[in-house]
Amino acid sequence: MLKPLILSASTLFVLAGCQSTQEAANVTRLGVDFSWEDTSRCSSKSPAFTITSVPQQTDQLRFKMKDLNVPSFNHGGGTVEYSGANQVPAGAFSYTGPCPPGGSHNYEFTVEAIDTDTATVIARGKAVRAFPPR
């Protein structure tokens, strides 16, 4: 006899945020650059980015931030539509911004280019910066 599966509201929220994308066999490399210049401590407003070498078939850019000093903390990220511009303005998505408890932490942003026609990650790039900036 099968037992019913009971999910909590938090589990459903996590599952709803999952995206079903594959990875292309030959993922190319994106150039990723950003600055904390207009970012305040603990802000949910994302920094501005410059993304280069974006493949032509890219429809979306997916961002994810990781605290390299505390990798278990989920800062999340966001997805933005890609219009062909290399600049992604500050505040383009909400996330749990940098808020190190003391001193400085190193944060890594991973950016993935997605072809939504095939639900495939076609390019990826990373950039690391300390916050607060030194």
Domain definitions of the chain by residue range: 20-131
Q: What is the mean pLDDT of the chain?
A: 86
User: According to the model, what pLDDT value does residue 102 have?
Assistant: 83
Task: Give the global pTM.
Answer: 0.82
Task: Check if CATH label 3.20.190.10 holds for domain 20-131.
Answer: no
Burial class, 88, CB count within 10 angstroms (exposed 0-12 / middle 13-18 / buried 19+) = buried
Residue pair 66/108 in contact by the 8 Å Cβ criterion: yes
30-55: per-residue pLDDT in tens? 999 999 988 999 999 999 999 999 99
Distance CA 50, CA 129 (A): 14
Phi, psi of 16 (to 5 degrees): -65, -30
User: How is residue 25 written in tokens?
Assistant: 């066999």
